[in-house]
Structure 1
Amino acid sequence: MTTTETELEQSIHIAATPERVWSLVTDLSRMARWSPQVVHSFVRGPVQLGTRAINLNRRGLLFWPTRSKVVVFEPHREFAFRVKDNATIWAFVLEPTDGGTRLVQQRRTPDGVTDISLRLQDAVLGGVDRFTAELQDGMRQTLARIKADAEA
């Protein structure tokens, strides 16, 4: 059902408390403000363990929905959601530092990535390697935008 794929990680230092950063990364409705791929997030109920959401994603003229569920909710420490459509887990890990927070964004693939997702990446998104590079760049952009909001 799934194929193994490299996990991704990016991090940034933010001059804000973990509490401030937590309040931002757990506000799924704001993800479109930060992520270059997310157009809109539809969240069902308050964000907590088990909360479900639907994202509308975009790359150029191509749009696609994804369904997710919050699978880790450890206040001020870790927030993660599993994307049902491709079996990946997207996580934000917060680490207190002198003068702020180290925010780590990860795409975890403990069960690999679904074959259909990999086939679509090859057929529509320029291949797995190209799409993975875009995801890495998108993660850097997302973290920089969260940092800007947290420090504002």
Structure 2
Amino acid sequence: MDKRTDTLLETSIGIDASPARVWALVANPRNMARWSPHVAKVILRGAIQKGATALNINRDGAKVWPTRSKIITFDPPREYAIRVRENNAVWSFHLEPDGAGTRLTQRRDTSAGTTRLSDFLVAKIFGGKPEFDKTLLRGMNETLRKIKADAESR
């Protein structure tokens, strides 16, 4: 079920795999290039832990742009979050046991506000906030479906 407010995008999926199995996948930011339609590459600097930083190459059709991020929450096997420097958005995965499986939730939280540059680009390049949010939610749902397939196939 998708949740959308002015500052929060959220979607969840049930996965027939243990939280430890799902965590092993989602806690590695490099995997996002396999799953997300908007992430082309993640170049992680240092070990996967709180405080690690990354250079991300993002895409939307012919549009390609870099962002920098930092792991701000690393709580195995429950929560993993990064903050994107260029727009101040916090992207996170939340894992909850769900019977023999896992409920995986992905969120994009901008409750701390976004940058002027991000607001300008969303308005002028990405079709405005409502359209941009729809695109992000579609991408989040695609990402979760691919994570589910990976977790359940191994």
Runs of 4+ in 1 over 3 A off after TM superposition: none
Which structure 2 residues correspond to residues 55-94 of structure 1 after superposition, within 5 A?
55-94=56-95
- Alignment partners' CA distance in 2, 1:121 and 1:55: 18
1:16 equivalent to 2:17? Answer yes
Report the 3-state secondary structure (helix = DSSP H, G, I; strand = E; otherwise coil) of the residue aligned with 1:86: coil
Structure 2 contact 79–95 (Cα < 8 Å) conserved:
yes
SS at match of 2:132: helix
Report how far residue 137 of structure 1 moved: 0.5
- How do 1:18-37 and structure 2 match up within 5 A? 18-37=19-38
Q: Aligned pair 1:96/2:97, yes or no? A: yes
In the alignment, is the contact (CA less than 8 A) between 1:5 and 1:112 conserved in 2? Answer: no
Q: Deviations over 1:116-141 (max 9, x none)?
A: 10110111111111111000000000
Q: Please list the CA deviations of residues 11-61 of structure 1 after superposition, one character each: whole Å capped at 9, or x if unmatched.
A: 000000000000000111111100000000000111100010111001111
Alignment partners' CA distance in 1, 2:61 and 2:78: 34
| Secondary structure of 2:58 counterpart | strand
Q: Distance in 2 between the 1:109 and 1:128 partners?
A: 12
Q: Are 1:43 and 2:44 an aligned pair? A: yes
Tell me the distance in 1 between the aligned counterparts of 2:10 and 2:41: 23
Secondary structure of the 1:111 match is: coil
What is the root-mean-square deviation of aligned Cα atoms in Å? 1.1
Contact 1:81 1:90 in 2 (8 A): yes
Q: Secondary structure at the match of 1:33?
A: helix
SS at match of 1:49: coil
Q: TM-score, normalised by structure 2?
A: 0.94
Q: Percent identity?
A: 50
- Structure 2 match to 1:113: 114
Unaligned runs of 5+ in 1: none
Partner amino acid for 1:114? Answer: T
**How many aligned residue pairs are there?**
149
Query: 1:99 Cα shift?
Result: 1.8
Q: Which amino acid aligns with 2:121?
A: L
- Secondary structure of 2:50's aligned partner: coil
Distance 1:70 1:97 in 2: 26
